[in-house]
Amino acid sequence: MSARVRVVIVGGSFAGLTTAVELRRHLDEDRAEITLISNRSRFTFIPSLTWVATGSRRIDQISFDLESALANSRVNFVNDAMTSIDVDANVVITEQSKYPYDFVVIATGHRSANEAVDGLGPFDGPGHSPMSPREAEELSVALNALLKEPAPVVVGAAPGASCIGPAYELTFEIDHILRRRKLRHLVPISFVTPEPYLGHMGMGGAGKIRQFLEGEFEERDIRYRTSVAVTKVADDSVEVDGSDSIPSALSIVIPPLAGVDAVAKSEQIANPKGFVPVDQHYRHPEVDRLYAVGVAVAMAPVESTPVPVNFPKTGHMTEQMARVAAEDIAARVDGREGSTSALGARCILDMGGTAAFLSVNPVRPPRNDIPKLSVGYRWLLAKRVFERTYLFHASRGRRMPTTLGW
């Protein structure tokens, strides 16, 4: 392919931003015109939303302007909402215009399916979730109210959830905040999860993480129930398995995820849940020159569980997908085949006054390496430093350091 190719990337979070920056590293401006379309004008560092919820961050501290960042990478930015993709005409259609492409990358992320649990607001019900900036800010207000009037707390995840890590983080962080304020004895904390055991996290567990989390919960007097389905959030309780209820004045539930409507409604692209099937290069298996990366990708669960738990999708894994896809597009422009690699995961779990580092390779068992688990205050410092370092480089359109993962 000798002519200048047009690459359109839809989505401005980790998947889209990483794909754009990586693709520009492979293809300079005389070889590729790269356009990123996003319905949001700002990038938000999603892993820090739990810190927004607990009051240690503001949204403006963990976000930056996409247009200026992408300009530094010589990538066009369009602040518009995609409505559909016409794969026969090779055109991305937005609310305001149409964008022809030679390659298109779907990096649209997810839609939180809060409607899966009755009462899981936060804006039309008593339940809370930390899955978006607005929800995290609303949860911060609710947590402050709890500190003034201590009462029972329930944290957990709904059936089919795939992003369960924030539920563990919020459980530990709330416990830590209450202990610091000498209020913990007034607030029973319960953790409810569809996982068959603590630490499953949709990846079949990892090394000693199950025993570690069970011990930490028991040491902190955090009651937990596994293989349960949250069915309803009321003003003063959380209902599980359709009948049993747990008293709760502050209820935080991670919802299942679904594909965004524009992708789900585009013909030939998505599965019934709105996610995009891909091969090992993150190409669509049937639609040529269409890629998907990040949370938008359809991933099969690692195993069947009594209550559904979906495959995890983290920022670190998203960046791996984006790099493989970007390298493959560049390889195809050069008339060759791109390389592939199995997804690994590295993450730091904030536990309040300390943190745990977990490394898993690959994510889907069986694994080549024995999972590594390390605990200590140094990992909490590392998580904070990584956040600042990532935002510093990403806001300047530079390649983001991902050695630690998250």
Q: What is the pLDDT of residues 330-382, one digit of tens each?
A: 999 999 989 999 999 999 999 999 999 999 999 999 998 999 999 999 999 99
Q: Are residues 26 and 96 in the same domain?
A: yes
pLDDT(401) > 70: no
Average pLDDT value for residue range 234-248: 93
Asked if 89 contacts 268 with a C-beta cutoff of 8 angstroms, the reply is no
Asked if 119 contacts 234 with a C-beta cutoff of 8 angstroms, the reply is yes
Query: Does 151 fall in a domain?
Result: yes
Give me the pLDDT at residue 33, please: 98
Query: Does 60 fall in a domain?
Result: yes
The alpha carbon dihedral of 225, 182, 55, 399 has a sign of negative
Average pLDDT value for residue range 318-328: 96
Give me the pLDDT at residue 262, please: 96
Q: Give the total number of structural domains in the chain.
A: 2
Give me the pLDDT at residue 242, please: 78
pLDDT(200) > 90: yes
Q: Are residues 25 and 92 in the same domain?
A: yes
Asked if 7 contacts 96 with a C-beta cutoff of 8 angstroms, the reply is no
Phi-psi region at 90: left, alpha or beta (left = phi > 0; alpha = psi -120 to 50): left
Q: Which H helix or E strand runs over 398?
A: none
Q: Which of 312, 341, 370 is at the close of a domain?
A: 341
| Minimum mean pLDDT range among 54-63, 121-130, 304-313 | 121-130
Q: Are residues 248 and 223 in the same domain?
A: yes
**Whole-structure pTM value:** 0.95
Give me the pLDDT at residue 403, please: 57
Question: Which of the residues 53, 322, 347, 355 is marked catalytic?
Answer: 347
Give me the pLDDT at residue 79, please: 98
Q: How confident is the model at residue 243 (pLDDT cuts 50, 70, 90)?
A: confident
Q: Which of 229, 255, 281 is at the close of a domain?
A: 255
Residue 217 phi/psi, 5° resolution? -65, -45
pLDDT (tens digit, 9 = 90+) per residue, 107-156? 999 999 999 999 998 888 999 999 999 999 999 999 999 999 999 999 99
Q: Which of 316, 341, 366 is at the close of a domain?
A: 341
Q: How confident is the model at residue 405 (pLDDT cuts 50, 70, 90)?
A: low
What span, in angstroms and rounded, lies between the C-alpha atoms of 328 and 322?
A: 10
The structure tokens 């068959």 sit at: 196
pLDDT(158) > 80: yes
- Nearest one of 43, 93, 37 to 262, comparing CA atoms: 93
Q: How confident is the model at residue 399 (pLDDT cuts 50, 70, 90)?
A: confident
pLDDT (tens digit, 9 = 90+) per residue, 261-295? 999 999 899 999 999 999 999 999 999 999 999 99
Which amino acid, 255? Answer: P
Q: Are residues 224 and 277 in the same domain?
A: no
pLDDT (tens digit, 9 = 90+) per residue, 73-121? 999 999 999 999 999 999 999 999 999 999 999 999 999 999 999 999 8
pLDDT (tens digit, 9 = 90+) per residue, 202-219? 999 999 999 999 999 999
Q: How confident is the model at residue 49 (pLDDT cuts 50, 70, 90)?
A: very high
Give me the pLDDT at residue 313, please: 87
What span, in angstroms and rounded, lies between the C-alpha atoms of 284 and 355?
A: 38
Q: Are residues 229 and 126 in the same domain?
A: yes
CA distances 377 to 346, 347, 372, Å, are: 17, 15, 17
DSSP secondary structure code for residue 312 in this structure: P
Q: Are residues 133 and 228 in the same domain?
A: yes
Give me the pLDDT at residue 216, please: 98
Active site residue 128: no
Q: What is the CATH number of the domain that holds 139?
A: 3.50.50.60
For the chain, helix, strand, coil in percent to 5 are 30, 25, 45
Give me the pLDDT at residue 404, please: 53
Question: What would the two tokens of residue 318 be?
Answer: 């998203």
Give me the pLDDT at residue 225, please: 97
The structure tokens 């590594």 sit at: 372
Asked if 286 contacts 268 with a C-beta cutoff of 8 angstroms, the reply is yes
Q: Quote the percentage of the chain above a pLDDT of 70.
A: 98
Of residues 35 and 406, the one with the higher pLDDT is 35
Mean pLDDT of the chain: 95
Q: Which H helix or E strand runs over 40?
A: none
The structure tokens 């890590």 sit at: 165
Give me the pLDDT at residue 296, please: 97
Give me the pLDDT at residue 337, please: 87
Domain of 60?
Answer: 5-110+259-341
Q: Quote the percentage of the chain above a pLDDT of 90.
A: 94
CA distances 391 to 69, 305, 377, 381, Å, are: 11, 37, 22, 16
Query: Does 354 fall in a domain?
Result: no
Active site residue 347: yes
Question: Which of the residues 23, 163, 257, 262 is marked catalytic?
Answer: 163
Query: Does 69 fall in a domain?
Result: yes
